[in-house]
Structure 1
Amino acid sequence: MARTTRNRRRKFGKVETKTNRHGQVYYDASYIPPVEARERYPYLPARIHRNFDDGYELQADAWLSEAKRLIDLGAWEPPEMAENRNAGNTVLFREYAEQFVENRRKGDNQPIRETTKDKYRQYVRDYLNPVLGDLPMASIKPAHIRDWYDSMKVTKDGRGESIRRHVFELLSAIMAEAANASLDDQGTTLIKVNPVQFKVPRPATKHVYVIATREQVRALADAMPPNLALGVLLSGTLGLRQGEVLGLQRRDIELEASPVLLHVRRSAKEISENGHKVAVLGETKTPSSKRDIEVPAPLVEEITRHLDTYVEDKPTALLFTGVRTRGIVRAQSMRNAFAKAIETVNDPTLKGMDFHDLRHTGLTHYAEQGATVGQLMRLGGHTNIKTVATYQQSSKDADKRLLAKVEASMSTTPASAGTSKKNTDGGKPTNDTATARNGGQQLSSPGNPSETAQTSEPSASAGADHADRSVMEPTGATADADAELKALAGALGALDLQSRLAVLKGLDEDRRGRILALLPASVQVDTIQELIKAVA
């Protein structure tokens, strides 16, 4: 504990010579702040203190004299406010950026994950510090930001564009906090103006998802090292992320359940430890990523065989381990093995496919086979309904099946397209093409997952059956029903959200689904989101 060794009387304030617990002498200068200042600064301490090293007693006296002068002039303010105003001229970008990364929090006020910190540290170290690191924060101007941006090289084919945008977003966040975060109760900020004064367009998507067929997923699994083959089947069938696959343990497979359940509870990831990348088990990407998935029977056989062959007989044993390390499989090792499998299969339609495309493959097949939006969100562990739209793209195999269904329904039409005939009840002439369209199974727009799925696995007999019924049933009734649904959808689109939901909840599932597909795009997504929340 510090102790006083000498105290000299002064007209204003005092300077005490003290010794700290390490035996070092220092000067503690202090004074009582002006009484009138407490109204403006209610959290002022009883005394204002500042310490000076041994031998700097004259500087302590000068500090007290300056405080007395400001008080007499009526210009005094808490010393930290003046220090805060000047902080931007003393704090370097590298120092502030490091602090920003270490203290960064997400929108829900939770700290960002260690893997995200590692990524940000790399961005600062490799891309920002070489240009901005040694500049005081207050000295960074828009021209410096432009210089940094131009230093991030992008090739003619677009390589480097994505990483430049990611680093730009981090830089923009750093400078925005410096310009907006208050350092004191008076709202003093580190810099007065954010020097990031332009926006970077989002780069066009370079990677086009490759959706494999069931047969292709099987072929890719067979081309993988035997201890990793199941990982391809799990991702390509159930839509698991790579980290989720590599984080699975024996206890996550509930073979006794009916149907068998796979529990996603964690994810393998890599963090920096003593300057090296280390694979660890961590949290899933989002809380909603923790989910239970029913396993198709054919996949159960594969899982059981893998467990018996490669997995230790204890609950926490990893499903996938390195051959030499027996530890967590590194993400790059899985990607390398998958790239070799692509080469081995040598299928031109799989060119450019990466491991993450297996997840899209699995979820796309779910959509094709009838999964609703809510089911896709649960199966994929998504929180944003818009993300699910990416799984509405069809595989080439599904496109062929869809075309076969259209051809089948058209081939069963009794008269050639464009000709007219009378109804069996002697009604008005009707167009055969319209009859086939109304009577056959509807072709839905890609925007509605459930309807898209309903068209995915047709049979010729089903198409013929619908076409035959279209001739037997009065087309006027069908047209009236369609007109009624369109009118109702139009009316609901004009209502406020809660009123719209109240009406939709009172309809049967089929009618509700058809109306949702007809709602204006401006209200469709919000309506479906709220319906999903209500069901959940």
Structure 2
Amino acid sequence: MERTISRGDWQPPAPPSLRGKALRSFRDYALNDVQSRTLTPRTRELYERQLERLILPHFGETEVEKITTTNVRAWYAQLCPEQPTQRAHAYALLRSILSHAVDDERITANPCHIRSATSRRRMKNVEPAKPDDLARLQSELQPRFALPILIAGWCGLRSGEVRALRVKDVDVVGGWIRVRQGVTRISGQVLVGPPKTPASVRDVAVPPHLLPSIKTWIEHLPKGEAERYLFPGREPTAPMSEKALRHAFAKAKELIDRPDMTFHDLRHTAATLAAQNGATTAELMRRLGHTTASMAMRYQHSSAQRDRQIAEALSSLLKSEEK
């Protein structure tokens, strides 16, 4: 002990609250860690589900101090090989919990050292909808089916953000949609609260061609009810249900012959169209409500049409030099 002290390696014992029996196992420590975080209800439910299904079956009864890099690598090697997104999220959660254990001086170093484990390869090659597809939806579908899809496809709103819009959130004169809340479903209960992240609270400019349809839709809603949902459910005081939105989207996919599309692919559509028309990464982050550039870049896609335009632009450079 004297030699340890003289070398400067001695550390005082961790507080009893962390070394006590109640938090000795990884299960107890991890659940306590997640409960102590400031999270949205949806994120908290997601973390708890990832713990119970993917992490605790392997590490639950192990003492935090006895989790090694070898243990982590063995767990990761067999973890959801066909589900890269779940795999990346579960690893990120484990790493963050053990990082807190380092901060709490339960362990001296984080055993999670797998390179690129939190990145994920896109398993599906997303093909964004084309402007002509969106135009067809606007002209041929009833507004109650078309407008939620068009707002997602042109403005990049998430499903829960579209469903949570109120009449007062839409400025048809200035051409803005104010994203201030979102709809989530947790344990069978529908909750309306803040959007996914602080960056998701944003104002999104609406393409002018879409404003007349939105204005007409609002004019058919009861007057003087600014707090009313823009797309109400069966009960006027409730937002459109997820089932109703899926029904509307099924009609849209059939009309444009895109059975492969998901509703979330409409965010890819909005990002791609904006990027092709000159939006910078910072502008895409703001428009989509992202916190990092990498997240915004993930939603950008090239297209054969855009590649042809680039090729033609390159040829024009040569022609201008010849002149």
TM-score normalised per structure 2: 0.78
Distance change in 2, residues 1:261/1:172 (3 Å): closer
Confirm or deny: 8 A CA contact 1:93 1:136 kept in the other structure.
Answer: yes
Q: How far apart, in 1, do the equivalents of 2:15 and 2:287 lie? A: 56
Larger Rg, first or second structure (1 or 2):
1
Aligned-residue CA RMSD in angstroms?
3.6
Identify the residue that residue 34 of structure 1 maps to in structure 2: none
CA distance in structure 2 between the partners assigned to 1:263 and 1:112 by the alignment: 23
Structure 2 equivalent of residue 508 of structure 1: none
Query: 1:8-27 deviations in whole A, cap 9, x for unaligned?
Result: xxxxxxxxxxxxxxxxxxxx
Alignment: residue pair count: 312
| Contact 2:154-2:269 at 8 Å conserved across structures | yes
Give the equivalent residue in structure 2 for 1:136. Answer: 63
Q: C-alpha distance in 2, partners of 1:200/1:394?
A: 24
Q: Indicate conservation of the 8 Å contact 2:146/2:252, yes or no.
A: no
Whether the aligned pair in 2 keeps the contact of 1:238 and 1:362 (CA below 8 Å) is: yes
Give the whole-Å Cα distance in 2 for the aligned partners of 1:252 and 1:166. 33
Taking the aligned partners of 2:167 and 2:239, their CA distance within structure 1 comes to 14
Measured in 2, the distance between the counterparts of 1:228 and 1:362 equals 18
Match of 1:181 in 2: 103
Q: Do structure 1's residue 357 and structure 2's residue 269 form an aligned pair?
A: no
User: 2: distance between equivalents of 1:383 and 1:141?
Assistant: 32
**Letter paired with 2:203:** D
Which residue does the alignment assign to 1:115?
Answer: 42
Relative to structure 1, the CA distance from residue 341 to residue 313 in structure 2 (aligned partners, 3 Å threshold; closer, same or farther) is: same
Query: Are residues 406 and 196 of structure 1, via their aligned partners in 2, closer, same or farther at CA, if it must alter by over 3 Å?
Result: closer
Is 1:345 the counterpart of 2:275? The answer is: no
Secondary structure, in 3 states, of the residue corresponding to 2:33? Answer: helix
1:99 aligned to 2:32? Answer: yes
> What SS does structure 2 have at the residue aligned with 1:269?
strand
Show structure 1 runs of 5+ residues with no match. 1-77, 105-110, 183-188, 411-432, 439-469, 472-536
Q: CA separation in 1, counterparts of 2:245 and 2:24? A: 43
Deviation at 1:390, TM superposition (A): 5.1
Tell me the distance in 2 between the aligned counterparts of 1:406 and 1:192.
57
Which position in structure 2 is the counterpart of 1:260?
175
Counterpart of 2:3 in structure 1 is none
Q: Judging changes above 3 Å, is the alpha-carbon distance between structure 1 residues 145 and 366 closer, same or farther for their aligned structure 2 residues?
A: closer
C-alpha distance 203-288 of structure 1, shift in aligned 2 (>3 A): closer
Question: How far apart in 1 are the matches of 2:241 and 2:147?
Answer: 16
Q: Distance in 2 between matches of 1:316 and 1:386?
A: 35
CA distance in 1, matches of 2:237, 2:22: 52
The one of 49, 53, 57 aligned to 1:126: 53
Q: Distance in 2 between matches of 1:299 and 1:85?
A: 57
1:144 to partner: Cα distance = 4.0
The answer (yes or no) to whether the contact 1:93–1:134 under 8 Å persists in 2 is yes
CA contact (8 A) 1:311 1:318 kept: no
- The answer to whether the Cα contact below 8 Å between 1:212 and 1:395 also exists between their aligned partners in 2 is no
In 2, Cα distance between the equivalents of 1:103 and 1:136?
20
Aligned to 1:227: 144
- Asked whether the 8 Å contact 1:321–1:327 carries over to 2, the reply is yes
Q: Shift in Å at residue 237 of structure 1?
A: 1.6
Equivalent positions of 1:342-491 (< 5 A) are: 342=253, 344-345=254-255, 347=257, 350=258, 352-372=260-280, 375-389=283-297, 393-399=301-307, 434=318, 436-438=319-321, 471=323
Aligned partners of 2:273 and 2:150: how far apart in 1? 13
> Corresponding residue for 1:320?
231
2:164 alignment partner in structure 1: 247
**Greater RCO (Cα-Cα under 8 Å, separation 6 or more):** 2
Closer/same/farther in 2, CA of residues 221 and 269 from structure 1, 3 Å limit: farther
Partner of 1:203: 120
Q: 1:325 to 1:253 in 2, by over 3 A?
A: closer
TM-fit CA distance, 1:352? 3.1
Aligned to 2:106: 190
Question: Shift of the alpha carbon at 1:173?
Answer: 1.7
In structure 2, the CA distance between the partners of 1:98 and 1:222, relative to structure 1 (3 Å rule), is: farther
Q: Distance in 2 between matches of 1:242 and 1:366?
A: 19
Q: Is the 8 A contact 1:87 1:190 kept in 2?
A: no
Contact 2:138–2:150 (CA under 8 A) maintained in structure 1: yes
Q: Closer, same or farther in 2 for the Cα pair 1:103/1:229, shift >3 Å? A: same
Distance 1:206 1:223, change over 3 A: farther
